[in-house]
Structure 1
Amino acid sequence: MSKGSVNINLYVKQFGINLKKIRESKNMTQLDLATAMNELSTDPLIDKTTISRIENGRTNITLTTSVKISLALGIDLKVLYEFNL
């Protein structure tokens, strides 16, 4: 990695860690979160496996998905991104 380059995977993983912490603090399962997200929109449908992949930093999500997550959790979008690397 060259000077000034960023390891994007660190951000993806930290986002997942934040998501899991917040979800668990709301006493929601991954299935609960997926269901709540799917109630906001019909396309594309989110399943429990997708939530697991996000929380484990194995997938990079879109802004649309981030917004759906924040709405389903009842939090400000910025809370999902509050971390320092």
Structure 2
Amino acid sequence: MKQSEIDAILGVGQASMSRAMSLLVERGIVLRSGGGRGHRYALNPAVAGYESQTELEKSMTQQLAVGGPPPIMVPGYAKRPPKPGKGGLHAVA
């Protein structure tokens, strides 16, 4: 999908969506293709939902043919993340 299509579906502003998509791409959850203003986004096959085992296998086979999907990056916490309801969220470097 194009970012503008995602913006319209979710009702999120373009700037907020750009920041969110950059983070998802950086972490490997979403894959970006195309260049310039023509970016298209797709879920990493490792986290995407599939309607059948055959559909999953077909997608993973296509990804493996081009080197496989990128790894999913998870932030490393220096200390335990805050518990829900115990203060605000803090950025993790």
**Greater Rg by CA:** 2
Question: By percentage of residues, which structure has more helix?
Answer: 1
Which of the five TM-score ranges fits, normalised by the shorter chain?
under 0.3
TM-score (norm 1): 0.28
Structure 1 or 2: more strand by fraction: 2
